[in-house]
Structure 1
């Protein structure tokens, strides 16, 4: 199987803050176990269609709660996209060791009002960069056959898509990390920390 020709640190389409309303910039921040309630509320806000796409099938609210409660935070990096202070999109990177190499699965979710604005592409770009910085040798993502949006996003990063049995599996092979990839993640983390501190110190209006 041929490897993708391009380095997915910079995909074909690079979303930036210009892609979003000036009053609603996107802040990317890694979630921790303390954010589990916020993550759960985000998943519960997904429409039935989007929830089905996220979990590869229809699941009830209790299953969503159980998923969040059982999430392995040690093996999973969860990147949140915050708009106006609310979590509106999430990219998950779940790693699993398959000797002798490390592989990972990616899952994305974006709430309906914030779809088609580049949020999913922005999340996938940064999650793939995080995979690269963790020496993941292969990244894969799964989606339903009719999930055209996810397939479109994956193609922006030269994913190899295989269609079979009503589903689609996409694969990417990260390059080794370099100075630029490490700096990109560090800059994103620093910006998130700064925005959190500023938000906490913002004066209350009376």
Structure 2
């Protein structure tokens, strides 16, 4: 249960408060360091999965924590970015991305209860979405020019691409789950 991949996932979760504190520091180096922390967290996301498969160290704890850590880091980063720049142009894709994560997480949990979780496994659209949103967040956290090049505009473009891919991947998940969602009563109590 306690292995290197799970340790990297826990490190990613531990980096969230570090990210928040650095984001609000009133120093010129805060944003670049914050972007570095987010990049490090993104790299641990890739590395922990690769190591878990390579070393044969997959575990139920890792399978649970990995997507939770990803969603927490992205949601916190998007909320901070919207708070720092409260515009509709940033809030809209942030709301789409966070809303999709909540919807797909609930869908996966429900499908797991039915024993059909494998039907809503991560798709290529989901992986492309994750890459676009991670790069977008790093660029938006940086905000200002990097090596004389404006990065904020590219961050917005990538965030909108990520939001579009977010909607597309959610549609793919819902399409797979739709027959079960519309199958009628299953005899189990619900939360409505």
Structure with higher strand content: 1
Q: What TM-score comes out, normalization by structure 1 length?
A: 0.27
Larger radius of gyration: 2
Q: What TM-score comes out, normalization by structure 2 length?
A: 0.28
